[in-house]
Amino acid sequence: MANSLIQSLKLLAFLLGVPFGFALLLQWIGGGIRKSGVSRFGNAYWYIVSPGVACHETGHALGCLLTFCRITKFVPFSVSEDGTLGYVMHEAKSGWKGAVSNLVIATGPIWFGCIVIVAITKLCAGTVMVANYGDYFSNGALPGLLEYVWACLKSSKDLLINLGGDVFSSGWLAALWFYLVFCVASEIGLSSVDIASMWQGLVGIVVVVLLLGMVPVVSNWYADGIRLLLPMLFLVHSMMALAVLVDGAIWLLMRLIVRRGRT
3-state secondary structure string, 119-134? HHHHHHHCCCCCCCHH
Of 244, 254, 257, 52, give the one whose Cα is nearest residue 160: 244
Residue 50's domain comprises 2-255
Q: Which residue has the higher pLDDT, 149 or 193?
A: 149
Residue 261 lies in a domain: no
Q: Contact 104/63 with Cβ under 8 angstroms? A: yes
- 28-71 pLDDT, tens digit each: 888 888 888 888 888 888 999 999 999 999 999 999 999 999 99
Q: Give the C-alpha separation, 80 to 97, whole Å.
A: 32
Residue-level pLDDT at 59: 95
H-assigned helices in 140-215: 145-162, 171-186, 192-213
- 99-139: pLDDT as tens digits: 888 889 998 998 999 899 989 988 887 778 888 888 888 76
Task: Find the helix packing angle between 171-186 and 50-66, rounded to 10°.
Answer: 60
Residue 260 maps to a domain: no
Mean pLDDT of the chain: 85
Q: Is residue 217 part of a domain?
A: yes
Q: What pLDDT is stored for residue 74 in this prediction?
A: 94
Residues near 27 by beta carbon (within 8 Å), at least 6 away in sequence: 189, 190, 191
Q: Reply yes or no on whether the pLDDT at 263 is more than 60.
A: no
Strand partners, 87: 75
Closest of 90, 87, 94 to residue 53, by C-alpha: 87
In a domain, 196, yes or no: yes
Residue 47 domain flag:
yes
The answer to whether position 78 is within a domain reads yes
| Prediction pTM value | 0.84
- How many domains, in total, are found in the chain? 1
Residue 73 lies in a domain: yes
